[in-house]
């Protein structure tokens, strides 16, 4: 039996038989054939009059399906899993009508809400949802499968339509170009051009113009696809831009992120912007910037996370930062008398005002939030933006707070080569100069945005909510504290007097279990990692740079003539000395220190002892280097303690290197207007006539957040070379010194009560000049005794040894 013409669209109908006319005129026979064929007429393509009934059924079915809402259609399909089993019967029996179980509007709303947050729920989430909605677990599973399939189908249809339009447009342009090539016209006179009149340069310009136009059209098409509405790059942004006023002098800033405000729905479109890093608005409209990786591939770091998720998180964090920098009471309320800050965050109001962009606070975590504003000496806000967006310059600017900083991925490079819209994935180790406070290791996004002319904002936000804790890219190193960085950063506004007004906001959640009890009040108050310390450090460093770049800068108390090259070389050496000191205290991964746990029973639990072997590293003596540090509370004000430790006339009261007498200051280079920010070269008195005197390089820094005193003995010939402008890279030194922080405030009967200082003492000593030598217990005990003796002498000199 041949069915060769069964589905052929002949002139008479969809089926061709010898008795065509009689067959088509018999409704009973047509219905019987339709039932026997399992509804073939409702599924096959109508080719003529003979299949008009089947075509009508097809059109009615499609119209009914199209008129349904997406959720109703999914309800019907989700019930098919069990209906197919119930309706399974022998082929010769009468087929029962399928029963469609439609979900209630409340169930659909709950399912859609979870789908927007998590298109791929795990088994636990599905079980919880089925229990809450009184649905079977299979129904929930089938609903999500069908919802994803529907979303994918819609995207494919829309993409096919766009590609078809683009193909038609390219074909029309091709025909136009071919027609123009047949009859070229002169650009100056309009007459037909002769062969050879079009210059080679003009031909290149035309080719480049065509290429740019094609690229512009493709960007518009993709932006239209993902934003859901037409986008024209030569017109204003299609989304409204909220105006946000700031408490800044003569300025009204506009948060120009309206062009990407519509990307909030991209969380429900998995993989829709994998090829693009982000879209940012500008006066020319919305621009989507291609991503350019500078490190390992992004999926290898944080799993298969779409880049649009990073962009959406960065935009949300920027919006929150700008609002927190602007809003006052009731979000920020006045602090109690004696508090380190004038205002504190009202966490209850914060939860009402903002949706947590990285999830709720984990159990057991402590919140820390602060805000500070001040003027910074800098040419313009863009110069500060460049510093914050460069990990090396950022870590140099805040060297006492940042132990290590790395850019894991450059997600977006910004608009037209600028920092506007730049998005970085970074990892940093934040430190307090004390062995009693673990390193804070955080992986975060850093997003930069130009708010207006002369106004910028840079925001940081952790990505912990987007990745699993066991991921090697975000999991903290052993011994470091777990930390989540909520939207934090600074808003910068240029002022006409050569300053830049900076409003800094810090908001962090961390686990304080591993923090020593002595430092917990300090961390909770924000004095260790809060906005006050970030802003104070920035002001001090910018003031130092302004003074050093001034042509009128001279060294104070200068008894030794030093050239400008010599001053720069001396300052470079002092910076390296301070960086090595900080690395020896915090034990970050920036330097390879080995902790000596339980090396000897005489070392206290609050003393950290580490060792490192130096073989051929420039600037360090070869051999085994031992580092020891501890922190204690001293009942003396921080300013008084700092002035005592930096005074060369009082150095003999605690420093064994002074040989029991006062030291002489040979030269001093001022690094700020505030007394105490300087680099000095000291000379110790010789014990006997046969012994040459010793030189000590010392750097002192102080601001509203704390102080440090770092020093190291240096070789006289090497120091003479440096002061003459020579290279200081190979000058060997081992730094020691002190870090002073105010004692954390505690709430008393009349407000906050503060008193005393937190003093960190650290020494680095060369115990053996052979790198292969083994560390002995006697060497560890010697360093421990040195620390104990120094602390005792300081307390005795300040008459605070109880």
What are the residues whose beta carbons fall under 8 Å from the beta carbon of 404, sequence distance 6 or more?
A: 395, 428, 429, 588, 589, 590
337 burial (CB, 10 Å; 0-12 / 13-18 / 19+) is exposed
Q: Given this model, what pLDDT does residue 748 score?
A: 55
Backbone CA torsion sign across 301, 307, 313, 317: positive
| Structure confidence by residue, pLDDT tens digits, 117-129 | 888 888 888 888 8
Q: Given this model, what pLDDT does residue 640 score?
A: 92
Helix residue ranges per DSSP H, 354-411 = 381-389, 391-397
Contact 388, 458 (CB under 8 A): yes
Instruction: Report residue 649 as tokens.
Output: 């006339």
Instruction: Report residue 369 as tokens.
Output: 């939030």
Question: Residue 288: enclosing H or E segment and its boundaries?
Answer: strand 285-289
What are the residues whose beta carbons fall under 8 Å from the beta carbon of 213, sequence distance 6 or more?
A: none
The reply to whether 564-798 shares the fold of 307-465+483-529 is yes
Longest dimension (CA), the chain: 134
| Structure confidence by residue, pLDDT tens digits, 538-593 | 999 998 888 877 755 444 454 456 788 888 899 999 999 999 899 888 877 766 67
What are the residues whose beta carbons fall under 8 Å from the beta carbon of 602, sequence distance 6 or more?
A: 781, 784
Helix residue ranges per DSSP H, 118-246 = 123-133, 137-182, 200-227
Question: Residue 310: enclosing H or E segment and its boundaries?
Answer: helix 307-326
687 burial (CB, 10 Å; 0-12 / 13-18 / 19+) is exposed
- The CA-atom distances, in angstroms, between 407 and each of 117, 275, 529, 650 are 28, 20, 21, 45
- To which residue do tokens 């002073």 refer? 740
Contact 693, 684 (CB under 8 A): yes
532 burial (CB, 10 Å; 0-12 / 13-18 / 19+) is buried
Q: Where are the domains of the chain?
A: 112-155, 307-465+483-529, 564-798
Indicate the class that CATH gives domain 112-155. mainly alpha
Q: Given this model, what pLDDT does residue 686 score?
A: 64
Instruction: Report residue 71 as tokens.
Output: 């959720």
- DSSP output for 175-186: HHHHHHHHS-B-
Give, as one character, the DSSP assignment of residue 10: -
Could you give the 3-state DSSP secondary structure of residue 595? strand
What are the residues whose beta carbons fall under 8 Å from the beta carbon of 496, sequence distance 6 or more?
A: none
Q: Given this model, what pLDDT does residue 554 score?
A: 44
- The CA-atom distances, in angstroms, between 515 and each of 115, 230, 437, 524 are 40, 54, 5, 11
Indicate the class that CATH gives domain 564-798. alpha beta
| Structure confidence by residue, pLDDT tens digits, 704-728 | 889 999 999 998 888 888 988 888 8
Contact 674, 700 (CB under 8 A): no
Instruction: Report residue 450 as tokens.
Output: 């130009």
Instruction: Report residue 471 as tokens.
Output: 């991921």
Rounded Cα distance, 500 and 284, in Å: 27
pTM listed for this prediction: 0.62
Options 3.20.20.70, 3.30.530.20, 3.20.20.370, 3.40.50.720; CATH for 307-465+483-529 is: 3.30.530.20
Give, as one character, the DSSP assignment of residue 283: T
- DSSP output for 710-730: EEEEE-HHHHHHHHTT---TT
Instruction: Report residue 58 as tokens.
Output: 């097809």
- To which residue do tokens 């479109």 refer? 269
Instruction: Report residue 532 as tokens.
Output: 């006050």
Neighbours of 64 (CB within 10 A): 10
Residues of the chain with pLDDT below 70 are 1-101, 183-201, 203-204, 222-305, 338, 465, 467-480, 551-561, 590-592, 597-604, 686-693, 746-754, 801-802
């Amino acid at each position: 039996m041949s069915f060769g013409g069964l589905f052929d669209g002949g002139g008479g109908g969809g089926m061709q038989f010898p008795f065509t006319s009689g067959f088509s005129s018999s409704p009973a026979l047509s219905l019987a054939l339709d039932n026997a064929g399992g509804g073939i007429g409702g599924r096959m393509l109508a080719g003529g009059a003979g299949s008009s009934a089947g075509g009508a059924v097809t059109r009615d079915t499609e119209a009914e399906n199209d008129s349904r809402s997406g959720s109703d259609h999914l309800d019907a399909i989700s019930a098919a899993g069990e209906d197919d089993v119930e309706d399974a019967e022998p082929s010769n029996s009468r087929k029962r009508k399928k029963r469609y179980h439609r979900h209630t509007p409340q169930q659909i709303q709950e399912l859609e809400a979870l789908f927007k947050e998590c298109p791929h729920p795990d088994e636990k989430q599905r079980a919880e949802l089925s229990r809450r909605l009184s649905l079977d677990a299979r129904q929930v599973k089938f609903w999500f499968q069908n919802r994803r399939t529907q979303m994918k189908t819609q995207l494919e249809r829309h993409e096919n339509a766009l590609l078809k339009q683009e193909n038609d447009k390219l074909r029309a342009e091709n025909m136009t170009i071919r027609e123009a090539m047949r009859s070229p016209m002169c650009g100056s006179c309009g007459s037909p051009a002769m062969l050879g009149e079009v210059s080679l340069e003009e031909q290149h310009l035309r080719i480049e113009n065509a290429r740019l136009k094609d690229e512009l059209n493709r960007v518009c098409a993709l932006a239209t696809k993902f934003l859901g509405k037409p986008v024209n790059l030569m017109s204003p942004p299609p989304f409204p831009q909220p105006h946000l006023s700031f408490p800044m002098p003569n300025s009204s800033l506009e948060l120009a992120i309206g062009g990407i405000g519509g990307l909030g729905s991209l969380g429900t479109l998995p993989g829709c912007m994998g090829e693009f890093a982000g879209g940012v608005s500008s006066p020319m409209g919305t621009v989507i910037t291609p991503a350019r990786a500078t490190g390992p591939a992004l999926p290898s770091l944080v799993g298969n996370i779409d880049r649009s998720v990073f962009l959406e998180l960065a935009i949300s964090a920027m919006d929150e930062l700008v609002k927190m920098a602007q809003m006052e009471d009731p979000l920020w309320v006045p602090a109690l008398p004696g508090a380190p800050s004038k205002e504190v965050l009202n966490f209850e109001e914060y939860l009402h005002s903002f949706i947590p962009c990285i999830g709720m606070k984990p159990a057991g975590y402590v919140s820390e939030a602060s805000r500070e504003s001040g003027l910074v000496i800098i040419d313009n806000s863009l110069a500060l933006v460049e510093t914050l967006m460069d990990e090396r310059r950022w870590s140099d600017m805040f060297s006492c707070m940042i132990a290590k900083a790395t850019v894991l991925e450059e997600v977006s490079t910004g608009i037209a080569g600028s920092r506007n819209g730049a998005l970085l994935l970074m990892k940093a180790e934040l430190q307090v100069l004390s062995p009693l406070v673990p390193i804070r290791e955080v992986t975060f996004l850093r997003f930069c945005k130009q708010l207006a002319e002369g106004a910028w904002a840079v925001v940081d936000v952790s990505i912990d909510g987007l990745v699993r804790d066991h991921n090697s890219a975000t999991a903290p190193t052993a011994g470091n504290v777990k930390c989540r960085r909520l939207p934090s950063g600074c808003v910068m506004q240029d002022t006409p007097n050569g300053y830049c007004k900076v409003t800094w906001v810090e908001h962090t959640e961390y686990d304080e279990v591993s923090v020593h009890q002595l430092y917990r009040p300090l961390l909770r108050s924000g004095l260790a990692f809060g906005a006050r310390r970030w802003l104070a450090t920035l002001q001090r460093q910018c003031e130092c740079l302004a003074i050093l770049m001034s042509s009128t800068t001279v060294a104070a108390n200068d008894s030794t003539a030093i050239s400008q090259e010599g001053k720069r070389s001396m300052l470079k050496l002092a910076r390296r000395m301070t960086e090595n000191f900080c690395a020896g205290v915090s034990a970050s991964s920036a330097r390879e220190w080995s902790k000596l746990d339980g090396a000897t029973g005489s070392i206290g639990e609050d003393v950290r002892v580490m060792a490192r072997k130096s073989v051929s590293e420039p600037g360090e003596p070869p051999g085994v280097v031992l580092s020891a540090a501890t922190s204690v509370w001293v009942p003396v004000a921080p300013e008084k303690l700092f002035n005592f430790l930096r005074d060369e006339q009082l150095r003999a009261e605690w420093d064994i290197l002074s040989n029991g007498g006062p030291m002489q200051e040979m030269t001093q280079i001022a690094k700020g207007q505030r007394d105490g920010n300087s680099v000095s070269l000291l000379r110790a008195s010789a014990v006997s006539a046969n012994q040459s005197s010793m030189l000590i390089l010392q750097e002192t820094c102080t601001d509203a957040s704390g102080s440090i005193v770092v020093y190291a003995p240096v070789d006289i010939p090497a120091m003479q070379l440096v002061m003459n402008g020579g290279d200081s890279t190979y000058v060997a030194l081992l730094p020691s010194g002190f870090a002073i922080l105010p004692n954390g405030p505690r709430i008393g009967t009349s407000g906050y009560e503060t008193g005393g200082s937190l003093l960190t003492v650290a020494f680095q000593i060369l115990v053996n000049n052979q790198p292969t030598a083994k560390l002995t217990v006697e060497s560890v005990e010697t360093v421990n005794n040195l620390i104990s003796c120094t602390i005792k002498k300081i307390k005795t000199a300040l008459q605070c040894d109880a």
